Structure 1
């Protein structure tokens, strides 16, 4: 009886230590967005790796902790010759589902590390791979976790994107904005080589364009102090065009 009681207690502790985070995606844009999802660390992908959100529409996915990965929104998408393709942030799978492929830059990213109960989740909005549309993350928590903050990039970087970084549509207007790293492949913009540490890789004139529009978002690889957010045991609302 004692052994059975101990086993029951251990199972209860194991179950109580698990956490399942719900991600709710909301499209506040005036156009359709096709979210993409990518699980990191060799873990299984979520139940959906890509789907469609019409203006005003919402959809949810669940992730079992521990989990890490990223989300983004694809825009200006269509199917031609049975192949699905997007003008921005495409994952090149040929399908609405990304099937384990990531976003092709430039793309606004929302990144997560979801911890088990009692430990901190980490999340951020990243423009390190460039920008294609505004995004935000809002923790859904009770009053006890009211210190958990939203992370947001509400500004339209495309509207002030320098010509040398701009990806233009058929109308000549910017539909996405490259990072300086992608545009120039220079180590000082990519935080690589001799610039591969926080002490040698600093903000540049280009990264500051992103930072001015979106102060809470990562503007370059070592932009941690103002761009990393934490919360415990929360669900999260990811909004396109907050």
Structure 2
């Protein structure tokens, strides 16, 4: 059976797959999460090309027929995994405390959570895999970009816009400013981890990067009504 597509009849014939279609194909959220957990293990360990639907079925503890009830092919399954991972990561690392009156404190907290999240082994593995297949499957690269970087910029932009309204920041384009801040935070710490450099970023390097990002950002966008840090 071809993992990527084709005209093969993929209708479920085994009992487990027939059960999965009860009430609509791929409607059980627990089963879907179970499959994504298996896919996560296989894709991150072997990469996209080396992974097979059979491998994923075994890792997930389901039949191969059940996989095709929930996902059309391997590309569809990986795209769903990308969306799931990005959504989970965004919820964890792009939370800005709207009640925090001090902008520098809020940005510092966000910067640390952002960098720590992207340096997690699973995040690095996902990024490596997306980069490796994005030329072949550009739609997956697009979905990753929209669910990951774009979502983070959007969330931070809301906070920055509120602080502009309050006179705490002086920014003409909040989306551009949000992108610049996140880029400054990860500058110098992401690439070493991504390429497997022996001297991976340590806590001191992360702190230096984030503190530097906050300092540069506030000097560029701090309201002229308040003294520069």
Higher RCO (Cα < 8 Å, 6 or more apart): 1
Category of TM-score, reference length = shorter chain: under 0.3
Instruction: Name the one with the larger helix percent.
Output: 2
**Larger radius of gyration, structure 1 or 2?**
2
Instruction: Name the one with the larger strand percent.
Output: 1
